[in-house]
Structure 1
């Protein structure tokens, strides 16, 4: 494994640095930074980038991806055309250099220009970037104090109240919106639409709102403001307070005592409490919003090894920049790509060598950064926190120097020397920032550094993607992974086939071209799938209907149109390929995507890759504890717990993290899955009551409401169906209404034909009838349609002719659904027999018929052929079948033979009278010798 290089040269550099600092201590000749020490600016090229509103032409390194360049443009703000990275890095470097010159940190303008050039070079080479830093947390008392317990219980109570209020407000908002929507959807008279007694939909919505807790005045206000935008009810946000931090002792948290249990409950409920395991760390985390910077440590690896001299210079440079730029804010300096440095040398992060190597690298950065902070303190003044705890800070630096010398790493000597230098300068000049270096994370900075993760031991994924000169993204090995494979003499072709695949299905052991052709695929579809294989990142996606063609799937493979239209349609599974075959083909074509399970690698190298690709939580805690033993600032490690975990599980997870040696931790519950649902058992049936003593039955009337749950599937009509055709004219416009019925007589479809209307209007009416028919066949009750469309007003409207029940209508739809309501629902209230009563609501009082006209006893029987289709029955109905007119109530006092007689066995009428010795029916004339009652005269 390749060690760090040039220890002797670095020792001399550190000695020179100490002597230089001694000269700076007299404030006579400040050190002039060298731009050459920052590296060489890479070759630039013009890059056309499509932004949200324009196309920007900027100068950027040719090896950078578009995403990386855009990340710098987003950070820089205003974009200067054709300026390197939009001009943001140049403006930042010039501003910081000017601050140093104005505050006397630089001797003259030449020193400031040299600092500016060096700072700009580190950004243009991509080895360092400013960051947004961290946001300060709200500090709570120590968890062992009584004040913490009181505040913690208040926080829990307020959060629970806000959570319940937010849920209630959301439900009530929905209910009140439905109230207003019921008014807006009504097309009748405005007063009737706002009346809960006349608008059934409004009544249902109002009842639901009342059940959810809305008072009647609130419901009335929602009805009155239905036509205006309604401001929703709002509840306080559940987690609107700042994230919290509290100090705790490691022993209390590791033991899980009463105070730690309460802290765990706060973290379990809010996911917003950070426990710092020392008062100093809690105070550091509670400071205000910070500025920061990140340095990519992996860029200092070259053919000769790790360039320690240049690394310490860049750390010193950026620590100086942060001290100048921060003002009264705290500053944070972090490292990126530490894990890539370890991987390039073949070290696993789970090994002692790997953890000591990362710790030594951080110790070296701390020494260089604190040396710069001491130099800045000589001119700009000391940090008040350093003045308050001067001896403690110096003692901590001395202890770190001793621990650094004992590390099993090639950097141990250099790290100890750098910390010794920082200790000497801090003792003489103090520190501008007592806490300057910490392993915080920043995703935006990671993108600006080309994907090197910022943090304790962040490393790029060994199998990642790179952008070609044509702008395409191709899978490839990361630079650290390629260096590790090359230095160990691994068969690169074998590793590439394992991780990246063959790029084709040509020789796949599971699904190759021959097997695809045997299943019906032609060379044309196979070629299209092969071209899309890399772009769509998956074999299933490469054979999607949009790629191989929906027509091919329907015509050749026999898939239905409904199947092809599904978004989750799996072409290969439809072609009878098993899931195991598809997975094997995908692994052959696209590779495993990992190197930790590659048999071509030796065990140590496999473990190194596995520690990056799938690190365990305990391994990450151990690495973080090793790094934080030298860092100035802690980072709150996130301890994830399942969404269904209990507070006791949170206490155990919190204690395990504290025992691992971290300096701060934060519990975070996983979000609840969207489809989560409690599996509640069915309510047990109650024991059958004992039978009561038998009593005389009491006959009472009661209303029985039956709730019928309808299936959402379509109920199709029979091929030969009943129905009727109603011809009428509304306002002089003819309308033909055709209905179709199920076997039980329920309405299942309707057709609406207009006479001499425009093609557009007729088509709209026809399609409206189809929509209503589909709703009826899917279970929508007819009364819902009737309530929705009666009283609608639009032309044509007016008197109705040709219908014996409807005499006036306010629109075509009003007439149609009045007719359906009268014919199928028995809604006689929708009938209007008097055309003279036509008004705005279309209702008429009707004309009361005279009793003599209503009770006509002499009505002739009506042939059944008037109501039953002879074609539909196909001769099954006798020709002599009639509907007899009997059973009408007589007018009181009317003279009718047989009014008090018996029923005639021949015709069924109550007209059997006795005449002499015979009984004769006055209706049908049938005679019988059976004695009958005497007719009254």
Structure 2
């Protein structure tokens, strides 16, 4: 302790400026002259009306940038009104606008040893952005170099005190932050509870009541003027007397949402009626202490304390309170959990105040009234031709990015004076990465494997160690952060904790051995240089969701997430998409030792099946390499937790990640995830149980556990391997004509105001055999097309094509007219085809067949809300055995003593038809078929595509919109 204190007081030797080494760019060659450019047209249409909502022609991008990245950057980041000379027309203008601002600010503030070093810095930064090696967070692209306030931070933490002035100020400050395209979080625990008295003698309202006003305010402000909701986090300490009300708040609102949905209201995330319920604009998290978690372990009592003098108002059983948290999260995914003592044990500035809250996605954790600007590296770019992780280039990239991020604080604007003061005083940064999942797969390492975790930990350690080493070097040039002097010892203590964690890494392979050795060298320099120079930045690294910027970099995976699925969809000119097997799969197979012929067969199998189970020539011990977030071999919840635990010791902040659980997960499993997160040393954790929220579409009935899929696939493979019979038999379908007189029904319908009639007839056994559709005036093109379609469907039905096949193919098709219907069982249809085949399913398929497709009547849905079962016990008793509510294991699917049990869904088919380019099916629908899962995420409010998880947010692969931090 004495020696550390003495070294921390040494006077640093002032350096003259940074000398920047040229690593990526070429001396004498402009980065733009090294690539081929092409002009493209970017057009976006409204998914409901079909009309163009955005169009910009002849935008200029490098030929290796995907159309998806082009679209996202053009629509999100180009500045200037469309159709005016001020509108940016290409990537060069965008990058120059940002890079030139950073370079000039670096020169003006004394960062560089010479003008030449500034020019090299500029060239290197420009080259890395051009080649998608990294990206700044979205506010940089929105604001830097424009006439708008130069807001560069995406993450903010506010504070609120126990006074009406402070509470109203909270509403105002959040509004300014949301307007600038960012998100904010805060802790409400200073506000006295509803069980305490006011100074006037009245009873306090409590923090939950004030959350209503903030929620309503957030719901009216769309971040950055865009179409997504504001992103915000609300935290409450576990010892607050109103903690139970806080925990159950969103679960009770979810009950309202279900009831309103079943009454016919539009309660989707972007639905017009969702605003009638409260608390939907924030993520909620409970801040737990080690004392509380120990009380849960020991099953003892725990005290809830008054906000004023801290006396215990009420004692509760810790296990019961913890159980309420897990139950609420089971019901609606809120609240998440934050581990207070762990967070503050890694706090570099405790003498300036504790860390009480986080940003909306939980990765940034620092002082109240502070902000953090983010940037993320594309890890896959640092694999060389021999698939060795390039430590030198990665280290140099981190140096440059950290330098740029720190420079941005010199010219940045902030939404409030308090945030500006704190940020300039502590200079918090948040470097991170994307494409970890793709990197591990390319190297032949399973995401949920010891080898995968070792490499991820080593890379994270190298990134943060290099960042703090550069921060110490910057401190020698432009001085340490203003708050460092008061926090020198705790800051250095945290650096030693990071160093010790890095030293404890035990690598398994060549890559992580090399990376871990380099990381240890960086941390040794951090401790040595920091003791002399101090540090320029209080914080250096986080792992953010990287939603929109991940698409900008053409990343296969976002943040710390695993790969989403083995088959992706490539956007083509004209708006269609093409199904392709992940390009990392052949690379992974090569690294695993497979030959060209074997790779070709395995890739072809994956293209057909969407998974690797029983792929030809693929060894079973290699299956784990191809495990994804979705699909037949989905990564188990604890696999996500273990990866978070591997990288957490090497981050200044935390990790934006949601642990996904299947619909069948229990409250106890969620409680275990929360408990293990604490034991593993995580700082925060969020969970999401499939289909726990109404704001997500229902599962499509194709889910199944991996074992059943594996068994089915094995049986299929065994059958295929059996010797073929010698006699060839040719089968021809026979048409089963309807009798001259047959029963039928005529249904009138209206979809978004478009009216029509459907007449359907059936055989004597009740099976559908004929459909006629009447739309439009007789003799019109529409009427003729529908007549022809009806005849084709009717003949196919009579030749034996199952109705279920048509329901699978035509439901969820999206085209106009689409919207509200006059059918109480089908309140919203995505097209007339979607409505017709849902109606036919309800009229002619058995309950068992419909439940497999996820199609229920309004009465069945209402009954499920009340009882946990879609059908009454009386009705089930009268059903034939084949339609009884039993799953394949014979389990009863009605409500049992443990609570509602979710219906079993059919297993994913081992054979999925490959869709062709230009198919009417959407990208999402094809992905559902290939993965065997419904993608459990909201619909994008910009383009209508189903979004996918990204950290603790959702991101749209179609247009790049996010539901939270960008």
Structure having greater relative contact order (Cα 8 Å, sep ≥ 6): 2
- Using the size of structure 2 for normalisation, the TM-score is 0.47
TM normalised by structure 1 equals 0.49
